[in-house]
Structure formats: C-alpha cells, structure tokens
Chains A and B, each alone.
Chain A
Amino acid sequence: MLKYTLIPLLPFLSFLINILFGRNFIKDRAHWIAVPAVVGSFLLAVSAFLDVAGGRDINVNIYSWIVSGSFNVSVGFLIDRLSAIMLIVVTSISTLIFIYSIGYMHGDGGYYRFFAYLSLFVFSMLILVMANNFLLMYFGWEAVGLCSYFLIGYWFHKKSAADAGKKAFIVNRFGDFGFGLGVILIFLTFGSMDYMQVFGEAGGIAGQTINLLGYDVNLITLICLLLFCGAVGKSAQVPLHVWLPDAMEGPTPVSALIHAATMVTAGVFMVARCNPLFNLSEVAMNTVAIVGGVTAIFAATIALVQTDIKRVIAYSTVSQLGYMFLALGVGAYSAAIFHLYTHAYFKALLFLGSGSVIHALHDEQNMQKMGGLKKYMPVTYWVFILATLSITGIPFFSGFFSKDEILWRAYLAGDLGKFLWFLGTLAALLTAFYSWRLIYLTFHGKFRGTHEQEEHLHESPPVITVPLMLLAVGAVAAGWVGIPPIFAEHGDKIGEFLAPVLGYPEGEGTHAQEYFVMGASIFVAVAGWIIAYTMYLKKTELPQKLGAAFQPVYKLLFNKYYIDELYSKTIVQPTLKASDKIILGFDTYIIEGIVNGIPNLIGAFSRKLRKIQTGLLSDYGLIMAIGALSIIGVWIFLR
C-alpha cells in the first residue's frame, strides 16, 4: 500500500520542505528536492500502471477521514485502468516540466516558492486522479484550483497577473458551486460517496425524479448536469472559458503543466470517471456533446486573430478540450481519454516551445514583433513543427489518431453526431490555419523586434531543449497506441485497454465511411496549412487586406466576441456596485456601529465613572462611612 500512498505523498513532502525551508535555507537549490520527488512519483506511477495492466485493480482505503453517523468518508485510492493512464500522463509531463523549469525560472526571486507550488499542484492532481470517492476527488479538485490561483498570480506584483489569478478562481467558483451541489446530491441519493457503491447502485435509480421548484426533474440528469457544471468551469468550456486565456499571465511552465496538459483536463477525467452515471442520462450526454462541439469551434475562431503567442495556444487548448467533451458526449469515453493523453504531450510541447521563444526574446509575447527565429533557434523550431503537425492532425502523428477517433465516433452517433462531426471538422480546419499562422509569424520571414533583441537571440540551454525533445517524441509517437482497426488489427490498444472501465463505444460504420471521415480531416488539415502558408509566407499583405475588408468580423474575433465585456457589464459591475452599497449601508452603519459602538459606550460610561475616584482621603472616608451606615440601617430596619 505504501507504494501507492507515496505517489502523491512524495510531491507533498517536496512542497512542505520547500515552503518551510525554502526562503532561508534552500533558495536556488529547490529543484534538488522537487525534481527527485516528482521523478520518484513517476517511477512509482509506472510501477502502479504495470500492476494494473497485469490485471490487478487497486482499491484501498488508507484511513477514515470523516465518520459521522451514516456519513462515512475515507481517504482511499482507486487505481484502475483509467486512473493508471492519468497517473502516467500527469507524472511524466510533470517530470519534464519540472526539469524545464530549472532553466526557465533560473534566477527568479521566488524560485523555491515556484517549486513548492508546483509540487503542491502535482500532489493535488494525483489525489484528484487517484481518489476512490467523490469527496476526496472534490478535495483534489479544489486544491488544484488553489494551486492554479497561486501560480497564475505567481508574479503577484504585476497587477495583470494578480487580476488573472483572481479571475480564474472566481470563474471556477461558478462551476464548482454546481459540482459541490452534485456531490451533495449524490450523497443524498446513494447515502455514500464511494465510487464503487454509487456506480453499482446507479442503475437502480434510473428514471427516478426529484421535485425542483415545482418541476419534476430526472434525478440522474440533474446529478450529471451539476457535475458537468464543475467540468465546464475547470476545463474552460463555453460559457466559463474566459479565465483560461487570462491564466497565461503565469509563468510558461505553469501554462504548459496546469493550463494545458493536466488540470484543465480534470473535467474530462471526471466525466469519464462518472460514465456509469452519464450513460443513464441522454439529456446530460447531449448537453456535454453540444457544449464541447460549440466550444471547439468557438475558441478556434478566436484563436485565428490573436497576436499574443501564448493566447493563441490557450484558445487552441480550449478548442481541443471542446473536442474531448464532444467525444465524451457521444459516448466515446476512451477516445476522449486518448485525445487527453496525446494532447497533453503536444500541447505541453507547444507551450514549452513558446516559453523558449519568449525567453530568447526577453519576455516578448507579441507575434507581430517576432519572425525569422528559425535560424537562431533550430531546436525550438523543429519541435514546434512536430507539435504543430501533431495538433493539426497530419497522418501518423499522434494528434491525427486521437482526433480522427473522436470525429469518427461523432460521425457514427446519429443526427446530432453528424452535426457535431461537421463542427469538429470545421474546427480542425481553423486549428490547422492558426497553428501554421503561429509558426510562420514566429519563425519565418524577417525579424520584426528591436535591434537590441536581435543581438541577444540565442537557442535555449540544454536544460530547456532536452525536455522539449523528449516531449516531441511523445507528440509524435504517443498516438501509436491507438491506431484505428482498419489499419491494423488490434491497433486501438488504448481503447481496448480502457474498455473494462469505460466500455467500448458502440456503432459500426462501413470502411468507406471511415475513409471518408479520415479523408475529410486530412483534407482540412492540409487546406488550413496551405491557406496559412499563402497568407503569411507568400502574400503577406493579404491578412491586412482581409482584416480591413471584414472589419466587423475581425474586430468581433479580436475582442473575443466581447464575452469579457459582457460579463463585466452583466455580472462584475452590478456585483461591485451592489457591494459598494452594502459596504456603505450594512458595513458602515451596522457592523461598524456594533463593533465601534460597544467600546464607545463603555468608554463614555467609564469617563463619567472615574470622576468618583477623587484621590482624596476624606472623600473615601465619607463614602466608607455612608456605606457602613447604610449596611447597618438595612440590617436594623429591613431585617
């Protein structure tokens, strides 16, 4: 058991040591603690994976957390095939990003703090993944959110970073409120938080309804939609996607680890984990699919015109998460997890590559001021190319297999599925376009930055480039475990591996249909590439002209559909105004009235009372005499 307990515990120890002794003793040596801890976690995770692959699921309770009547929650771990894959993804990417951070964060004032928070994040994420009940998962869920807040606002002296941290936290609150209600409703319904018990009894309550504000609502649907609320917040789906692009204020390794590869995929993991519940509710499944499909296309359109390199990748992340939810919604859970797994590698690579670029340009993030970096940073350039080939779905790179699986499963899932397939394919076209646009703006053409920046251009040190190269291997090859059966018998190893937990998606299509879907996605990938090539390499005046010709559309996209402004007008400003009123009325007069009033009253009374203390002996004597006389008088006359 200790082996499995140590998986999350090692990063936690690293967090404790760094946060307690970092400032005074460890300082710039923080990575000597954090990196071995996370490597240890990774090795143990691999060992756990092998145990699970050997056919032994692990479900142990480590200790009783809360015991109160029938409410009984343990800290316990469930490592089955789903969480084993998540463990591998989380720990392997964490390891590479920890190593990368040694180079990237070198010389930063809060170096120890950075590694402490990063370790805490890994701990929380592992708890989230390994939990065997909903409450422990909720703990991990909130803890990763907290770490995300810490790390987005890591450079807290910068106002934009502090604001972005707050925004992420508050937006997530909206989703987590629903998630919390969902967990409570699960307990009320099943009398237990334990996955096995809840999933085992789920079938028995299918069709039950609950009266909500006078309407009869299907209980399972309600639970699923509430849980999905949490996923919408955490995984940045429309309409709660606004925090993720702002989260790019954090250091780049954080963006790569938390806001691309691991934390934001927690929602996908959660829905996949709860598949026995979601399978029972068609309404919830369709909601998940539609939200996913809409997000995929919505975020992709915004990414077309952004100029901040990290924001483009951030919107791309939102869009790819949309794909995963689309897959979940059509019941292709294993395809979603497959995409989660390949996406983690190529998206982490894109972020770390952009970090390498930003580092070389001394914190320049605007692509308009880059260009021609190819000859200065060959390693970064080539890994970027590999990641882009992968994300755009060029055949035989990992993104191709996972994205194709999702689109194929969507295509098979009825009329709604066909529509979502269309949205997904369209989003793939946009993805190809903006990904190549990013490459051409950054690495090709002439350098558009300042002369000073140009002189200092250099390739990053090996501590940065080696993790990039390792991730590139993942970005290319991670998908080879999920080759569609039409290419190779039993090629879809990951789907078959996950089948005992997630089920194998139903639906059979003809080979002709499958080739058609595949051909369509290859066609849009290449088409997007060619359009980007034409616009940003050959006819570089074209983007300007197009922008001018479609001014309103361009402005709408550039301003991200004015969603932030809308929320500001409808939610943020009214809340602030109402708060101002409350502060004036309630706080100033009532709270402060009570808090200041009582001491003032006592003070005023005391100021009167102290007059008695004249300090004169004869006065005291007189009072004593009067007192003695009154006592005697009372004794005599009132006895």
Chain B
Amino acid sequence: MDEILKIKDVYKSFGEKKILDGLSFDVPRNSVFGFVGRNGAGKTTTMKLILGLYKADAGEIFINGKKVKYGQNDTNKYIGYLPDVPEFYGYMKPAEYLRLCADITNIPKEKVDDRINEMLVMVGLEKDNKRINGFSRGMKQRLGIAQALLAKPELLICDEPTSALDPAGRKEILDILKAVSEHTTVIFSTHILSDVERICDNVAILNNGRIAWNGNIAQVREMGGNKSFTAEFASNEDMNKALNAIKTQNIDIVKLEMKDSNLEKLFMEVIGNETD
C-alpha cells in the first residue's frame, strides 16, 4: 500500500458554515506533506477528523487502509499528533509527562526509560528537568513533538507547529521534522510558505473546503524555477560586477528585488552568538 492516509470526499459543516466541501487527497508513505491554507480554511478541522475527534458529515478517511471512526481511536495507534497549541499538565515535569504517555500507548515497560531519554535528547529538553508550567512556547512545542513521536508512530500530524514561534524556534522544529521524516510520514499544516519549501516533498493547498492544488514540491519549483533565482553576493562590489555583466550581455530582467537587510539572518546571527 502506497498511501498511509487516504481522504475521500469528506464534507463537514459547523452549523451553517461549510468548512470542508468534498475534500480528497492521499498522503504517500515516508514523505513530508505540507498542508497549506489560509487561517480558517479547515486545516485543523481536517486533522481532527483524521484523529476521530470530529465526525464527518459525509466521506471516508483511511489510515493504513483502516477506516477512521468517530469517538473510537483504533486508528490513532498509527498516529502521533502535535496540536497547534499543545497543552500539558503544568505540574508535571517533561519526563513524567512522557512516562504517562508511554503507559497510555503501552510501550513495553523495559523500553520506556530509554525511549523517554531518546526523545528528550532529540528535542533538546534533556536538561530542562522542571515543571512544564515554567516552559516557553517553543519548549512546549518541542515537548509536543517528543510526546507525538514517543510511540514511534507511522504518521506524524502537526497542526501549525511553527506558526507561533520565533525564527530560531521555527528552524529547530523544522529541523526536527525533517530528521524524523526518515522513518515517519509527516503531515504538517501551515500558512508559512517558506517552511513548506524548506522541508516538504509534497504540498496540498486547501481553499474553500477543497484541495485547490496538490503535487510534488519539485513541480512547484519547475513552474517558475527555470526563470528566476535568488543570488546572494559576498560584497557590494561583486554584486555590481554581476549586474554589469548582465547589462553588457543585454539580458532582459523582468523583476529585480533588492534585499536591503536580511532581518531573519541578522536575528539568527545575534541570538546564535548568545547561545554559543
């Protein structure tokens, strides 16, 4: 079976408001799948339907070929889920929370300690042995990934994992997602398009309750990739030379954009220096 997740003609409304209007798409195994849409497009609703937390008005969802049923959570054993704002019991320490999760997911007892350590190291929380109450948003997001991956699920679903984070936190999360995609299929929703380009293999764009576009990220690159590129020069001098070269060759430039300051880069450099 090629697809880990299959969504077929799903409809869902809340009262008068139609959220999903015949949504269909497949997610191939061992890929990073970007699920893109505007705020309120129905990304979270779709994820909650996949998890059996909402009941679809019509349509079917299959995980590993098994049908998802509302209220029952048989199919959830294949899934690790990271909610948009993960909430934990604030009075627990991260290792204690992961132990609770391990017991609930029935991870073999002799493996629990190793697994918890492995996860804490992976998300970089091994030294933060304090109550979750005192955690920052980024730390909670990382603990969220740890709990989602604890049982080594075949499918990891992340709901806007990077939206609420600063650039440094975003990069960390994206790096972790990219790393785990070696053995896990990752679906993540976002409205930050650069994140998708950074790590995704496949993209689906959700609009008006349907998939407006679905395909490979390479296809996206091909669409405009042959005609445009971004270049970064080491110095102003080099840049002027390059521009001169273009001029002397009589090449037409349709659009030229100057980046006066690369804020993101600056930000990363400044805080990078602090943490080093």
Real binding pair: no
Chain B residues close to A by CB (< 8 Å): none
Chain A residues close to B by CB (< 8 Å): none
